[in-house]
A and B are shown apart, each in its own frame.
Chain A
Amino acid sequence: MNGISEVTEKYLELYRNNIDRIESMSSPYINSFRRAAFEKFRELGIPSKKNEAYRYTNLNLFFDHDYSGYFLPVASDFEKAEAFKCDVEDLDTHGLVLLNGFYPTISGKLHQLASGVWIGSLNEAALKFPELIEKHYGKYAKSDSDGLVHLNTAMASDGVFVYVPENVKLSKPVQVVNLVQADEDTFNQHRNLIIVEKGAEFSIIVCDHTLSPKKFLTNAVTEVYVGENAHFDILRVQNEHNAACKMTHTFIHQEKNSVTSSNNMTLHGGLIRNSTYHYLGGERAEAYSYGLALSDKWQHIDNYVNVDHASPNCTSNQLFKGVLDEMSTGAFNGRILVRPDAQGTQAYQKNNNILLTDDARMDTKPQLEIYADDVKCSHGATVGQLDENAMFYLQSRGISKREARLMLMFGFAHEVIQNIKIEPLRERMDNLVMQRLRGELSRCASCVVKCG
């Protein structure tokens, strides 16, 4: 067939070689999506720069590579993952660990918290809660242009499942630690499904780590359903080594009067692309989308945001910031779609970036499509250096140039961090970002890989 790129062909081949094994370990309902998704992937392919949403990101750096394995687990793989402990003090969470996208515990793959919330393996949930899965799985992760979403649907078999029943307010967040570890270059995919029913409140922290010095590619899809009057927050803390590539696609579907926030804290990683889709599907829903990206060396961080105002009187606000050092590059692409019925929409977008060297590069692109009349909408993007006047102000108080630069960068980043609602985590992020800006954090404290 014409038009299929060489790199796409690799993944078609991968599918053909692994699909029997994948299907044998997955639930029939999840399997029922694979064939159509595969066809759609074949049609769309691995996104190239011709794809408007990937114009500034060269995926071939990681996709055009022969990964020795497509990861499917055996029991012994999980020993290290089980031993992993998050070192954030005072952070009280319900912890979960995924190893290369799989829920590791061999027994008890799904359990219920005292509040009635279920957390555990998606694959297990598909067997235990077929009705819930049939109602929500594959309903929100839709894309007419991004082949990677379909590649995930075609092949992913496990990930995190969360079910928060009606009116349950979980005060403690759930923390998912995504570990990537293998002895050879590996491609992983996982699939998460989070269901937050009417009136419920739930927050989740997703931390990404790499544990061995191999080349890794992860392509993850998360679907989130947020019911009427429900609250949902997701915070990603991305800290992977330079030979790792992370692609995340997060689809948040909101009903009436719901409030959600998404915050992507990207501290480290070779190539990271976060696509965050906010669908405002009921009146007076609110969506807040934040991101902070710190990069150096040859790193590349790309944030794509898509806010779909499909109902009247909804509010959305995007704030994304980047600090780019050395030869690193970045991209921001923020789309706001206001549909004809979505009167009374308020939609805001801000993207500010600081380039610390002449070699760093940032591409930023707002994309507004407004089909309603009664709309308040604003967007602004800046790419610049540190403010000279502010530098002098600090220096005139006896603060050295180096420290003044750090303070300004930190202040710049803190505007994103301050939106984190969980205090110990906010402090921890302040701390990590400070370390990162000082050049002390070339890897996460818990990481054994010296990739810096």
Chain B
Amino acid sequence: MLDIKNLKASIAGKSILKGISLHVKPGEIHAIMGPNGSGKSTLASVLAGREYVDITDGTVSYFGKDLLGMSAEDRAKEGIFLGFQYPIEIPGVSMVNFMKTAVNEKRKHHGMDPLSASDFLKLMREKKELVEIDSKLANRSVNEGFSGGEKKKNEIFQMAMLEPKLAILDETDSGLDIDALRIVANGVNKIKKSDNSFIVITHYQRLLDYIVPDVVHVLYDGRIVKTSGKELALELEAKGYDWIKKEVENDVVA
């Protein structure tokens, strides 16, 4: 469904992604790991359509379409979801209004009628239970005054509401205690079906105990320097990233 070829990108003239290729098939979970500053979040931003990132080379095709030519909102309506590392607080905009607008814009895009008020509330209720989000949060303004954990759960709740084909979770585990981590991971596992895919960006192996990836990539200095099965995550947890850095540097010297 997603085919990234030789993607290069920069922010304010500084090269961040230096040639990334990645292929995601329906139903797969890919983990992207790597040290700080390696370009993980930039990759997520590019896929979601953030405008401050300049694409300098490469292509991204999504179900055969040129993803980079699509606006952020069209990508979302076509089934891409970004779970934010730092979800944004929007005072004065209620969760209900936010989700109703998002769900109905997507339905409109696919030629469906908007949900009736009662059907919408029913959907909200179901999904709230699914991700174990406090009912009261949904009555508040978007993320306003939410704790770190509540914000991340809210991302998973929004994902459940929008039922994406490809979800990119950008360090959803950062700042979570072990209980919140379990709730977030369970939410992901419940949403997971045979035909939707996930790209899970994380620093730590911890999350991958709960969300078991099919493939693990290591991103370092704007390149994917290693791709392997889920056992790679355990190796990274045990040995850190230094040995990868050394390998890369040796390669360059050689």
Contacts and interface: CB of A to CB of B under 8 A. Distances in A.
B158 interface: yes
Interface in B97-126: 97-98, 101-102, 105-106, 109
A392 interface: yes
A390 B51 CA distance: 13
B91 A395 contact: no
- Interface band, chain A: 20 to 34
A37 B177 CA distance: 69
Contacts of A397: 76, 98, 102, 158, 162
Given A398-B77, A404-B73, A413-B92, 5 more contacts: A390-B88, A396-B73, A411-B90, A414-B93, A415-B92
B159 to A, nearest CB: 10
B90 A390 contact: yes
A414 B141 CA distance: 11
A415 B101 CA distance: 20
A396 B48 contact: yes
25 contacts: A389-B88, A392-B50, A392-B72, A393-B90, A394-B102, A395-B76, A396-B49, A396-B75, A396-B81, A397-B76, A397-B98, A397-B158, A398-B105, A398-B109, A399-B102, A400-B73, A401-B73, A407-B90, A407-B93, A410-B92, A411-B90, A411-B91, A412-B92, A414-B92, A418-B92
Output the residue of A394, A404, A413 with the most chain B CB within 10 A.
A394
B146 interface: no
A408 interface: yes
B102 A398 contact: yes
B72 A411 contact: no
A393 B92 contact: no
Output the residue of A389, A410, A415, A418 with the most chain B CB within 10 A.
A389
Given A392-B50, A392-B72, A411-B141, A399 B91 contact: no
Output the residue of A395, A397, A401, A408 with the most chain B CB within 10 A.
A397
Q: Which 4 pairs of residues, A with B, have the shortest CB-CB distance? A: A411-B92, A398-B76, A411-B93, A414-B92
A394 to B, nearest CB: 7
Nearest to B88: A393
Contacts of A408: 90, 93
A395 B72 contact: yes
Interface of B: 48-51, 71-73, 75-77, 81-82, 84, 87-88, 90-93, 97-98, 101-102, 105-106, 109, 141-142, 158, 162
B82 A398 contact: no
Nearest to B51: A392
Contacts of A413: 92
Interface in A378-427: 387, 389-390, 392-401, 403-404, 407-408, 410-415, 418
B87 A398 contact: no
B141 to A, nearest CB: 7
A419 B52 CA distance: 37
A395 B109 CA distance: 14
Contacts of B98: 394, 397, 407
Contacts of B92: 410-415, 418
Contacts of B142: 393
A400 B50 CA distance: 14
Given A407-B98, A411-B93, A411-B141, A398 B73 contact: yes
B120 to A, nearest CB: 15
A407 B101 contact: yes
Nearest to A407: B93
Interface string A69-95: 000000000000000000000000000
A196 B73 CA distance: 53
A408 to B, nearest CB: 7
A396 B91 contact: no
Contact of A415 (B75, B82, B91, B97): B91
A432 to B, nearest CB: 16
B127 to A, nearest CB: 14
A397 B93 CA distance: 14
Given A411-B91, A412-B92, A398 B84 contact: no
B244 to A, nearest CB: 31
Contacts of B87: 393
Interface string A347-378: 00000000000000000000000000000000
A285 B157 CA distance: 44
Contact of A398 (B51, B106, B141): B106
A400 B73 CA distance: 6
Given A408-B93, A411-B93, A398 B88 contact: no
B144 to A, nearest CB: 9
A415 B77 CA distance: 29
B105 A400 contact: yes
Contact of A396 (B82, B105, B141): B82
Output the residue of A389, A395, A403 with the most chain B CB within 10 A.
A395
Nearest to B93: A411
